Amino acid sequence: QVQLVQSGGGVVQPGKSLRLSCAASGFTFSTYGMHWVRQAPGKGLEWVAIIWYDGSDKYYADSVKGRFTISRDNSKSTLYLQMNSLRAEDTALYYCAREDGSRRFDPWGQGTLVTVSS
């Protein structure tokens, strides 16, 4: 079945780096745009980044621009989010999501928690 399985979260000190992964299965990964969305504890959803199906273009939320990098390896059907210069306000549950037709997020990964704390 169509599935996104995430890994790579954890606790990290401010200013440090972390990389999240999102492994896709059950569909042709290389034909879909992919996104990262995050949710701070007790808060709503915040869109983070998008990467085109072939990696040719990327776009970021202002809150992470210059610090986060979205990438993909279509040969491994895997999406990544490299997070540098992490701040306390980056603490959140991070979700990867496939952009299905009609600009919809479906499915979503299970989420991975990133905690930025000294």
Partner 1 sequence: DIQMTQSPSSVSASVGDRVTITCRASQGISSWLAWYQQKPGKAPKLLIYAASNLQSGVPLRFSGSGSGTDFTLTISSLQPEDFASYYCQQANSLPWTFGQGTKVEIK
* Angle subtended at Cα 34 by Cα 31 and Cα 70, rounded to the nearest 5 degrees: 120
User: Which residue, among 23, 73, 67, 24, has the nearest Cα to 49 in the 3D structure?
Assistant: 67
Residues near 101 by beta carbon (within 8 Å), at least 6 away in sequence: none
**Structure token pair of residue 40:** 């701070």
Residue 37 CB, shortest distance to partner 1, in Å, is: 8
Residue 70 CB, shortest distance to partner 1, in Å, is: 13
Residue 16 CB, shortest distance to partner 1, in Å, is: 25
Tell me the H-state helices in 2-107.
none
Q: Which is nearer to partner 1, 16 or 59 (CB)?
A: 59
One character per residue 15-54, x = contact with partner 1 (rule: CB under 8 A): --------------------x--------xxxx--x----
Residue 116 CB, shortest distance to partner 1, in Å, is: 21
Q: Does 59 interact with partner 1 (rule: CB under 8 A)?
A: yes
Distance, in Å, from the CA atom of 23 to the CA atom of 115, rounded to the nearest integer, reads 21
Q: Which is nearer to partner 1, 54 or 57 (CB)?
A: 57
